[in-house]
Amino acid sequence: MSQLPRPAHTRRLRVAAVAAALLGLLLAPAAVPSAATPRLLAGPGSAPTVTAVASGGSAALTGYAIRSAAEVTDTAAAVSTPGYATTGWHRAGPRSTVLAALVADGTHPDPFYSTDQQRIPRRDFADPWWYRSDFTLPETAERTSLDFSGVISAADVYVNGRQVASAAEVAGVYTRHELDITDLVRAGTNTVAFRIQPNDPRKHLTLGWLDWLQPPPDANMGIVRDVLVRRRGPVSLHDAHVVTGLDVSSPGSGPAELTVKARVRNDSQEAATATVTVAISGTGIVLREDVTLRARETRTLVFAPDRHRQLRLQRPALWWPAGMGPQNLYGLHLTATVAGSRSDSVRHPFGIRDVKAPVDSAGARRYTVNGRPLLIRGAGWSADELLRWDTTAAEDRIKAALDAGLNTLRLEGHIEPDEFFDLADRHGILLLPGWECCDKWEGQVNPTGTGEKWNAADRLTARASMAAEAARLRDHPSVLSFLIGSDFAPDAQTERDYLDALRAADWPTPVVPAASAVTTALSGPSGMRMTGPYDWVPPSYWYDKREGGATGFNSETSAGPSIPTLDTLRRTLSPAELETLWQSPSAPQYHRSPSRTFNTLKLFNDALAHRYGAPRSLRDYVAKAQLGQYENVRAQFEAYARNATDSTDPSTGLVYWMFNSGWTSLHWQLVDRYLDQGGAYYGAKKANEPLHIQYSYDDRTVAVVNRRPDAVSGLTARVTLFGTDGTSLYDRTVRGLRVGGDGARTTAATVPAVVAASGTPDSTYLARLTLTDSAGREVSRNVYWLSTRPDVLDYDAGDWYHTPTTSYGNLTGLNSLAAATVTATARTTRHAGSLSTTTVTIRNTSSGNTPALLTDLHLVDGRDAPVLPVRWNDNQISLWPGESAVLTAHHRTGDPTDGALRVRVSGWNTPTTHITPASP
């Protein structure tokens, strides 16, 4: 998203390179550390150690000593020589920006609290920084190389006192480099040193933060992916991958064909004959081929079904997105042997699946996986602000996205390390990676962005970046498409370069020219639109098929701000900032955005005060914010789901902007930095239930949406309307409902307008919707707070980020809800390992007719701090007197030193209480 004004329906690197080095990037994939092992970029205990590299193997450098080049007077040759003293240098992990290391060692304060980031002087990062590491080799008989990407922004590279690459060659975070250092290494200790150049996303093809968050003072300069030291014999393997073809004429059950490709290179000075063996786990397939290569010759080997019938699988185990089927994976293992000895090997997983995304008659891109349709229910993914990588934290977030009913995450320009894609493959979340808007990546084409124009070297870097990422990502079945443009499509030459690189990599899924509504000569129409909004609009907005409403494929859209829970706010803002948050609705908020468009909460706060009443305290403000976020996020996902099967202008996909933030934020997030869950998250989770009953704000219809693969019949829907005093205004039950699978819907009822308008012309009322199955079990419950006075939008006065509301609905009647009494019992069961389940039975025991509205359960420790992460089967529920629900929470088993686990029960009109779970 751009920080500058832009035309409606649009939104939003300088690195030199040597052509031969940059275009030779389709090499063997980098080794992938186990996704089960957390990897921290920098932190206590991550001091660099000497990395031992065994014969015939590879190893990632385990850490660095780093220091500003302005403080180092010695020559590059001296710095990169073994034995050089690094007393007084900082320690960094194997993947670390400069600031990540300096925060970890206490040099600078935590930039995530209050305005502490402003205390970090930017001048400390105006000069290059040295990154220095040692590794040991047992001997030098094998060939040795450095294999890496992830340098921000560029680096001169030295080994054992000799320069092996310049910053003109090693430029751009996504370019991949393999540097042969065989003639420079020695048995024993060796040194590699990187002189990292400062980063500026306006000038370099790296990454920036746009209007997402306050950018880090170092602009993320550093090395953020592994640097591998590889040992090989005379013949090496590169660019190994599998091209899959699946027959989808019978969705989910057709045969598949596999084609295995790899480049075989003779790195020696004499001819060599290698035997290349291909093994595919799970199939019993083992293939061999001998190849004789001249000195320094490279040849591509192709194992195809026309020569190897084993590569035709009649009953393949397909990879499916979560909720559609299992995430089956195969393993590709290639080995090259010379004279009976292993020379090199490559191993990585892949999946068999088919993705198609034609543009329909309405101009919308419509995805199918393995022949079955799916509505893209996505959200924007953010990396950590300091680009620190932690596999466990990433997996927690992916699980949270799936738990919220999402099936897709969009990565705009922040394309995560290999482990992220491995996690997505294993968990079944689809991914939409692509380039970034508004900075250098769009310098050629975006008139409202800040990026500089490209030169010839930039074009080489861009093409090399595309080639490297295509080779890295193509075998991951979770990758749904690649977006080669964001707000703007690339110019014709760049588009041709990108498409050539993708074609050379055998890219298997649709390529989208931009996330906005554009058409290019080579790629055709994008089938996507980028109409926002990005700031507050009322729930009814989403049902109108214009602007950001539920039609077509909207690549980024949401109602903007997202106020986290009170627990998180107290970890984020100072006491003075907390007072400003609720008492000064127009005040700039540092934790919202650096953009002048989004640096306040004025639109959100005005709407909250008009619809719910002016906040009376911080707690009241947060409670109203959760109600407002719940109803708005729910409406967005529900509108797109309802309209997905329309005969005209159907909705085909949405990407909620965004799923998470890279730091502590008040802006664009379904979950907060600490993975606490509030109204926005539970609104999405409710809307995205597999079998779901929902109310439509535009025509008052009640629909049932079924995302399960199979049709469901024998359903009963009940719709009841209540006044805020508990009086029943309308009650209807509809039996014998049937709804098809894969996102089908059926209309159960229409609430009469006269009933909806009962009471005063300006009153608040409640709608309770329940859905039960043929056995009478409740399978979906949904409660709405509604107004007899509609929200009125002025579309003519709208701009690129919102549509003004000229008259607000009245939900202030919720303030007069009588207090409700809720009782609860809980039990915690510890499982093998470190996981536990807490089951809570909650009941509204009030004597009157008042519901307990949006009742929230939080697991807390003895200090009343949330136990996170946690996954509830449901939460923030509303119960009428006599009703009960059983809620379960899956969480990690806590440290006994944190005190007894408790369940905190609170709600809109219920007092806060705590209960202690029993043990089995």
The alpha carbon of 557 is separated from its chain's Cα centroid by a whole number of angstroms, namely: 15
* DSSP 8-state code for residue 198: P
Q: Is the dihedral of CA 854, 855, 859, 861 positive or negative?
A: positive
DSSP 150: -
For residue 473, the surrounding DSSP H or E stretch is helix 456-473
Please tell me whether residue 195 adopts helix, strand or coil conformation: strand
Task: For the chain, state the CA radius of gyration.
Answer: 29
Q: List the strands of the sheet with 408-412, edge to edge.
A: 511-512, 482-483, 430-434, 408-412, 376-380, 651-656, 552-557
- DSSP for residue 811: -
Rounded CA separation 352/39 (Å): 28
Q: Closest Cα to residue 868, out of 891, 887, 888?
A: 891
Question: Alpha-carbon torsion 54, 59, 65, 69, what sign?
Answer: positive
Q: CB 249: neighbour CB atoms within 10 A?
A: 8
Q: How far apart are CA 838 and CA 260, in angstroms?
A: 47
- β-pair partners for 411: 433
211 tagged catalytic: no
Report the distance separating Cα 399 and Cα 394, nearest Å: 9
Annotation marks residue 257 as catalytic: no
- Give strand pairing partners of 377: 654
Cα-Cα-Cα-Cα dihedral sign, residues 253, 254, 255, 261 = negative
- The three-state secondary structure class of 914 is strand
Please choose, from the candidates 280, 275, 290, the residue with its C-alpha nearest in 3D space to the C-alpha of residue 243. 280
Question: Where do the H-state alpha helices sit in 178-302?
Answer: none
| Inter-residue contact 471 to 27 (CB < 8 Å) | yes
Contact 845, 899 (CB under 8 A): no
Cβ burial of 75 (10 Å; 0-12, 13-18, 19+) is: exposed
Kindly tell me the burial class for residue 61, based on how many C-beta atoms sit within 10 Å of its own C-beta (0-12, 13-18, 19 or more): buried
Going by their DSSP bridges, the two strands 58-60 and 227-232 should be labelled as antiparallel
| Catalytic site residue from 218, 556, 567, 856 | 556
- Beta strands of 521-615 (E only): which ranges? 524-525, 552-557
Q: SS3 of 339, please?
A: coil
- At 216, the amino acid letter reads P
**Would you state the structure tokens that stand for residue 699, as one six-digit string?**
């025509």
Cβ atoms of 90 and 63 within 8 Å: the answer is: no
Q: What is the DSSP letter of 588?
A: B
- Residues 6 or more apart whose Cβ sits within 8 Å of residue 31: 58, 60, 226, 228
Pair of tokens at residue 414? 């922040």
Which one from 418, 422, 487, 689 is the annotated catalytic residue? 487
Is-contact 652 366, C-beta < 8 A?
yes
Q: How many residues does the chain have?
A: 920
Give the contacts of 832 (CB within 8 A, at least 6 positions apart). none
Cα 23 from Cα 729, distance rounded (Å) = 70
- Can you tell me the distance from the alpha carbon of 33 to that of 337, in angstroms, rounded to the nearest whole number? 24
CB neighbours of 581 closer than 8 A, spacing ≥ 6?
Answer: 569, 573, 589, 601, 618, 621, 666
Both tokens of 232, joined, read 């090989």
* Catalytic positions: 487, 556
